[in-house]
């Protein structure tokens, strides 16, 4: 059983990750993790100290668990850049702070670091309003490039094809064919996938809340810091990490919202794409990195996610995830592993690490922190 | 929000919506309205209160004029059609205060009624008696925010002089519509009023569900301490003796989100809370709204277009 320990500021409880029921969790790993959560209250997604929380929490776990593989995400600059008007210098300062935090972690822990940026941000130029369609357009709030199109009328198709800010409309068979999908996977793929031009984001009926200032740019490639290694595609990062693990303890570090333009460390371009498709920051990109294979179909862009949310109550702490993804690096690695991040509540799913600590923030509301213990038998 | 001239008062930004999303009704929260059903959660902009801890300040406090380019522009007919398309069984106004958008909501109510969809809302119920009757004409079920009782609290934290209109309107709406009440608790500000608020609700109708929220520090209070869950829960002990349906949530994994039978204590409805609008139904044990243990009636409003009645949220 995977155990979730939720710390809601002075309110700490253990749950069965799958069922959400209270769990009688005990043992040295549980006690160690409880202590880590108590010592590191999450400052909030938009707080300047958010990235420091990642390093501090990870170092605390290092001291007590001594993992060989560490998966980290630094995301404060992504959230702040997305929703706060700031100068290029100010944004550059935030990115520099994030890398200082990563450097502090690497120096203090002595691990070998492989760092990947999830891609550049660009100014938000406007919304593509697809709320008036006869059919249904779907994208999540965090997706800007892609929206699924379901049951469009001929009038919808004409309107969308003539829309100046829509780059392409890709039919389902082409989407499925690109990633070699099965018939079952095709069923969850929208009839069409719409692609927005640079700077534009779809506005759909299932959209929510805040309007962004910056959004992910066109990122067919992303920057990779991997000294001494030639990795041309994000599906190759996993192998590079595994090879490094044969000699060293390794930290795979993801820098959210940082692309080739702003990545301050030496880096090489790494393909983040397959033909016309590239990954936006999110779980599919993470899973592709940690599994070493394209993972479009786990939760495909533009699918009717709301229909699946309540098909089962399994994994209530895990957002739209309805199972623990297979094939992740952390899940396969026989040594000790941890993951820490302030990106979202999916670190425990995408990393597969023995222990994952993440912020528990929903729509930027800071509810505290959560740790998931997938394995407690390695201490 | 409104403007006035020689012709009268008119809505400044009709049919402009800040939110439009499919949700489950527990997440609004409504715990005693058609459990597990999906609703279309909508909102506009602006508010008649100025709460220091507003969780939707982005929409409620910012100048509505400055927000226009990011809002949805949807006719009432389109809203209702969307709700049907997404298999929603109701529309719930849940982001800001409905009284700032009455003309648009009257139009939505007309369309929704024709489609057999009832409307619900979150409201602060700070309205005139006439305004309250208009709300009752639009909405079938209410979650009314009773934020505090003392004039000092209401002046300091809410920006109003007195809670008396709210109390009057809770009494009135509870007579004719399904009503739940919500109270965010701020340690040192309104926690000492928990007992008095429970007495008030019990005097109106002890069957009213009461949602006590742990305040999530936001907006002007973002740097406030997170209130102690244990302290608030202890303060609720005597309230639970007066009110059978007291829920304490707005934090992850609350132990106090299940509905217990007031007669025998058996679990009638089991829920799960992620806090912050993430509540959901787990299991419903009360077939036909009767306790499976003793057969006692559990007060649940069922969504239907007719007939009219307090236990039924009609469109």
pLDDT of residue B226: 87
Rounded distance, CA A371 to CA A368, Å? 11
Chain A residues in contact with B282 by the CB 8 A cut-off are: 20, 313
Other Cβ atoms less than 10 A from the Cβ of A247: the count is: 8
Q: Is B229 on the interface with A (CB under 8 A)?
A: yes
Q: What is the pLDDT of residue A200?
A: 97
CA nearest to A366 within chain B: B216
- Partner-chain contact A210 B58, CB within 8 Å: yes
Q: Which two tokens stand for residue A166?
A: 């829509």
Name the B residues in 35-74 with CB < 8 Å from any A CB. 36, 38, 55, 58, 70, 72-74
Query: Average pLDDT in the B145-169 region?
Result: 97
CA distance A22 to B132: 42
CA distance A239 to B40: 45
B141-145 and B72-73 strand pairing: unpaired
CATH 3.40.50.720 fits A125-211, yes or no: no
> Which of B24, B86, B216 is facing A310, going by the closest CB pair?
B24
Confidence at B69, pLDDT banded by 50, 70, 90: confident
Measured between beta carbons, the chain A residues lying within 8 angstroms of B20 are 131, 205, 207
Instruction: Give pLDDT tens digits for B4-51.
Output: 988 899 999 999 999 999 999 999 999 999 999 999 999 999 999 999
Q: What is the pLDDT of residues A361-379, one digit of tens each?
A: 777 788 899 999 999 999 8
- Nearest-CA residue of chain B relative to A312? B282
List Cα–Cα distances, B104 to A130, A263, B16, B47, B111, in angstroms: 22, 49, 9, 15, 11
Architecture of B2-252 per CATH?
Alpha-Beta Barrel (3.20)
B309 has a pLDDT exceeding 70: no
In angstroms, what separates the C-alpha of B204 from chain A's closest C-alpha?
33
Pick from B24, B55, B72: CB nearest A131: B72
CA angle at A202 for the pair A200 and A207, rounded to the nearest 5°: 135
| Residue A219 or residue B226, greater confidence | A219
Contact A363 B82 (CB under 8 A): no
Interface contact B234, partner A, CB < 8 A? no
Q: How many CB atoms lie within 10 A of CB B134?
A: 16
Name residues whose C-beta falls within 8 Å of residue B229's C-beta, 6 or more positions apart in sequence: A8, A10, A11, B214, B248, B251
- Using CA atoms, how far residue B161 sits from A32, A165, B150, B156, in Å, is 50, 50, 9, 9
Q: Which residues of A touch B280 (CB under 8 A)?
A: 310, 313, 316
- Give the gap in angstroms from C-alpha A40 to the nearest C-alpha of chain B: 15
On whether the pTM is more than 0.90, the answer is yes
* A22-30, Cβ contacts within 8 angstroms, sequence gap of 24 or more: A22/B253, A25/A373, A27/A376, A28/A376, A28/A379, A29/A65, A29/A355, A29/A373, A29/A376, A29/A379, A30/A3, A30/A5, A30/A373, A30/A376
Give the model's pLDDT for residue A319. 86
Q: A244 to chain B, minimum CA–CA distance in Å?
A: 38
Q: Kind of pairing, strands A277-278 and A273-274?
A: antiparallel
Sorted by where each begins, the domain ranges of chain A are: 20-121+217-373, 125-211
Whether residues B278 and A6 touch (CB distance < 8 A) is answered with no
Query: Does residue B311 surpass a pLDDT of 70?
Result: no
pLDDT digits (tens, 9 = 90+) for A49-70: 999 999 999 999 999 999 999 9
B3, two tokens: 């403007």
Chain B CB contacts of A206 under 8 Å are 21-22, 86
Which residues 6+ apart lie within 8 Å of A105 measured at CB?
A54, A55, A58, A59, A72, A251, A253
pLDDT reading at B306 higher than 50: no
CB B246 within 8 A of CB B239: yes
pLDDT digits (tens, 9 = 90+) for A67-108: 999 999 999 999 999 999 999 999 999 999 999 999 999 999
Asked whether residue B215 carries a pLDDT value surpassing 90, the answer given is no
- Whether the CB-CB separation of A290 and A330 falls below 8 Å is answered with yes
- Flag whether residue B110 sits within 8 Å of chain A, measured between CB atoms: no
Q: Which of B78, B253, B278 sits opposite A13 (nearest CB)?
A: B253
Inter-chain contacts counted by CB atoms under 8 A, chains A and B:
89
pLDDT digits (tens, 9 = 90+) for A266-315: 999 999 999 999 999 999 999 999 999 999 999 999 998 877 766 678 99
The runs of H, that is alpha helices, within A128-224 are: 154-161, 172-178, 183-188
Helices A50-65 and A28-39: crossing angle in degrees, nearest 10, is 150
Q: List B residues 136-175 in contact with A (Cβ-Cβ < 8 A).
A: none
The mean per-residue pLDDT over the stretch A321-346 comes to 94
What are the structure tokens assigned to A348, written together?
Answer: 């425990």
Min Cα separation B198/chain A (Å): 24
Q: Which two tokens stand for residue B258?
A: 């299940």
| Beta carbons of A316 and B280 less than 8 Å apart | yes
Contact flag B275-A362 (C-beta cutoff 8 Å): yes
| Ramachandran quadrant class, A10 (left: phi over 0; alpha: psi -120 to 50; beta: rest) | left
Q: Which residues of B touch A365 (CB under 8 A)?
A: 55, 216, 218, 276
- Interface check for B190 against chain A (CB to CB < 8 A): the answer is no
Residue A15 has pLDDT above 70, yes or no: yes
Chain A residue numbers touching B36 (CB-CB < 8 A): 310
Residue B224's pLDDT is what? 86
Asked whether B15 and B77 are in contact (CB, 8 A), the reply is no
Nearest to A136 among B58, B72, B85 (CB): B85
Check CB contact of B284 with chain A, cutoff 8 Å: no
Flag if B24 and A209 touch (Cβ within 8 Å). no
Q: What is the pLDDT of residue B275?
A: 84
């Amino acid at each position: 059983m995977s155990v979730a320990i939720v710390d809601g500021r002075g309110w700490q409880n253990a749950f069965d990750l799958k069922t959400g029921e209270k769990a009688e969790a005990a043992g040295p790993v549980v006690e160690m993790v409880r202590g880590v959560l108590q010592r590191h209250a999450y400052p909030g997604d938009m707080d300047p100290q958010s990235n420091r929380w990642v390093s501090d929490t990870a170092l605390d776990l290092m001291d007590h668990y001594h993992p060989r593989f560490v998966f980290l995400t630094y995301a404060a600059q992504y959230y702040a850049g997305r929703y706060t008007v700031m100068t290029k210098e100010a944004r550059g300062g935030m990115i520099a702070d994030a890398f200082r935090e990563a450097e502090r972690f690497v120096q203090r822990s002595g691990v070998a670091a492989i760092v990947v940026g999830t891609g550049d941000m660009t100014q938000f130029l406007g919304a593509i309003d697809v709320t008036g369609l006869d059919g249904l357009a779907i994208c999540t709030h965090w997706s800007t490039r892609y929206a699924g199109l379901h049951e469009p009328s001929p009038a919808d198709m004409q309107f969308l094809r003539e829309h100046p800010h829509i780059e392409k409309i890709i039919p389902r068979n082409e989407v499925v064919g690109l990633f070699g999908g099965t018939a079952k996977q095709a069923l969850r793929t929208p009839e069409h996938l719409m692609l927005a031009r640079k700077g534009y984001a779809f506005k759909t009926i299932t959209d929510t809340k805040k309007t962004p200032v910056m959004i992910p740019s066109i990122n067919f490639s992303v920057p990779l810091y991997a000294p001494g290694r030639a990795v041309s595609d994000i599906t190759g990062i996993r192998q590079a990490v595994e090879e490094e693990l044969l000699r060293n303890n390794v930290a795979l570090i993801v820098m959210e919202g940082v692309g080739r333009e702003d990545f301050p460390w030496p880096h090489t371009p790494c393909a983040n794409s397959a033909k016309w498709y590239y990954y936006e920051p999110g779980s599919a990109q993470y899973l592709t990195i940690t599994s070493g294979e394209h993972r479009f179909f786990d939760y495909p862009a533009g699918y009717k996610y709301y229909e699946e949310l309540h098909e089962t109550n399994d994994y209530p702490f895990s957002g739209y995830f309805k199972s623990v993804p297979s094939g992740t690096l952390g899940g396969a690695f026989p040594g000790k592993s941890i993951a820490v991040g302030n990106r979202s509540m999916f670190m425990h799913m995408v990393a597969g690490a023995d222990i994952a600590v993440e912020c528990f923030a929903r729509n930027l509301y800071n509810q505290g922190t959560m740790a998931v213990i997938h394995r407690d038998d390695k201490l | 929000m409104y403007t006035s001239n020689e012709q009268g008062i008119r809505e400044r930004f009709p049919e402009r919506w800040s939110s439009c999303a499919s949700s489950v009704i527990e997440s609004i929260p409504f715990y005693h309205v058609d459990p597990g059903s999906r609703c279309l959660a909508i909102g506009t902009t602006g508010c008649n209160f100025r709460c220091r801890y507003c969780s939707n300040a982005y929409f409620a406090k910012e100048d509505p004029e400055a927000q226009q380019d990011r809002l949805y522009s949807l006719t009432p007919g389109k809203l209702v059609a969307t709700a049907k398309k997404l298999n929603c069984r109701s529309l719930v106004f849940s982001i800001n205060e409905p009284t700032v958008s009455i003309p648009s909501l009257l139009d939505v109510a007309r369309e929704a009624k024709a489609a057999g969809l009832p409307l619900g809302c979150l409201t602060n119920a700070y309205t005139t008696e006439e305004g309250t009757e208009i709300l009752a004409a639009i909405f079938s079920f209410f979650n009314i925010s009773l934020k505090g009782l003392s004039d000092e609290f209401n002046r300091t934290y809410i920006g109003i002089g007195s809670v008396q209109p709210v109390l009057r309107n809770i009494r009135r709406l509870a007579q004719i519509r399904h009503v739940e009440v919500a109270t965010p608790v701020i340690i040192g500000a309104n926690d000492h009023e928990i007992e008095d608020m429970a007495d008030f609700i019990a005097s109106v109708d002890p069957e009213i569900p009461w949602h006590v929220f742990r305040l999530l520090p936001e907006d002007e209070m973002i740097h406030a301490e997170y209130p102690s869950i244990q302290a608030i829960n202890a303060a609720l002990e005597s309230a639970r003796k007066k009110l059978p349906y007291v829920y304490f949530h707005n934090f992850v994994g609350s132990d106090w989100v299940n509905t217990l039978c007031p007669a025998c204590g058996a679990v009638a409805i089991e829920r799960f809370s992620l806090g912050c609008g993430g509540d959901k139904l787990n299991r419903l044990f009360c077939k036909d709204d009767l306790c499976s243990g003793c057969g006692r009636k559990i007060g649940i409003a069922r969504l239907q277009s007719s007939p009219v009645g307090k236990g039924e949220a009609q469109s």
